[in-house]
Chains A and B, each alone.
Chain A
Amino acid sequence: DAKTTQPPSMDCAEGRAANLPCNHSTISGNEYVYWYRQIHSQGPQYIIHGLKNNETNEMASLIITEDRKSSTLILPHATLRDTAVYYCIVRVGSGGSQGNLIFGKGTKLSVKP
């Protein structure tokens, strides 16, 4: 599975949008971009995933560049409860041999009042 690069940490003011970048320049055509977050001492929580098109759900939006070499996770109105480590992971999405989720170091997002 392709490797991802994320900034180690970011700060965001409460109520503002949090934009978390991820580089995945070696992504293959059949690999999806997944985002998870881990709040301290809990298991990771699934946020969103996508292949080519931008995706939105009740938690966040995922913007994938046209060349698919990078993406941005957007939390539209960050709250203190969004403070967590955010992981961007790429893996084969479906069919045939499917890769497992391999976690990197992620981005520690601190939402401040």
Chain B
Amino acid sequence: GAVVSQHPSRVICKSGTSVKIECRSLDFQATTMFWYRQFPKQSLMLMATSNEGSKATYEQGVEKDKFLINHASLTLSTLTVTSAHPEDSSFYICSARGYTDQPQHFGDGTRLSIL
């Protein structure tokens, strides 16, 4: 149980393109979803937290107009990287949690490469 599916697993696109990443909880209802970013040889950095039906809460230094998060249902959240540039190239990982006393479960990540 507690499977989180993330799609796509890899994206390569040109600078200026907007990219959407989907995160789905397959066998549980995710009241809260999280988006992380990980650069090579570094740890995961939390970007934002979203509760179903509410606006996302962004961590300091993360541009909300750059990284658009939608959590419209209890099983789906999307992250859209708008007008992506090479410095946005990274490993993006989503996570989902059901009730507050349950652990977070993670997707397998999306490797984004902007040329």
Please tell me if A76 contacts chain B, counting CB pairs below 8 Å: no
B87 at interface, CB cutoff 8 A: no
Describe B's contact surface by its main secondary structure.
strand
Interface contact tally, CB-CB below 8 A:
53
Dominant SS at the A interface?
A: loop
Contact B46 A101 (CB under 8 A): yes
Residues of A within 8 A of B45 (CB): 103
Residue tally, chain B, CB below 8 Å to A: 25
- Of all chain B residues, which has the CB nearest A47? B103
State which residues 27-74 of B face A: CB under 8 Å: 34, 36, 43-46, 49
Given contacts A101-B34, A101-B95, contact A43 B6 (CB under 8 A): yes
Measuring CB to CB, which residues of chain A are less than 8 angstroms from any residue of chain B?
Answer: 34, 36, 38, 41-46, 49, 87, 93-95, 98, 100-106
